[in-house]
Amino acid sequence: MYEETRCRCRILPLDMATRTPDAGDTANALDVPCILDDAPESFMVTMRTLRVVQGLKIIWWYVAIIDQGACETKGLDEEGVETVLHSYAEADRLLF
């Protein structure tokens, strides 16, 4: 799969508390939080109004790992931003 910067990645499963129905739940299952083990689900969703064209961008957030060599794409991403990958040490230096 690709994330929005066009880098190839793999979703990592998480243990999470959720109200998401389990695959085997019936339509009248209780609405209570439960713990899902190794769930490949998003942990958050955000919505953003688009500036250029009228509409709404819905973003589901996942924990993922980028595959080696995954960002060998050319050009800009869908919002006109260039993707640059840094090592952890370099990112730490640039951010702090």
Number of domains in the chain: 1
H or E element at residue 18: strand 14-18
Question: What phi, psi does 62 have (nearest 5°)?
Answer: -125, 160
CB 96 within 8 A of CB 86: no
pLDDT at 52 exceeding the cut of 70:
yes
Specify if 90 maps to a domain. Answer: yes
d(CA 44, CA 22): 17
Beta-bridge partner residues of 18: 34
Specify if 1 maps to a domain. Answer: no
Which residue range(s) make up the domain with 50? 9-95
pLDDT at 15 exceeding the cut of 90:
yes
Specify if 4 maps to a domain. Answer: no
Specify if 3 maps to a domain. Answer: no
pTM: 0.62
Specify if 53 maps to a domain. Answer: yes
Does 12 or 86 have the greater pLDDT score?
Answer: 12
pLDDT at 74: 59
Inter-CA distances, 39 with 13, 56, 63, 80, Å: 5, 27, 11, 32
Amino acid at 27: A
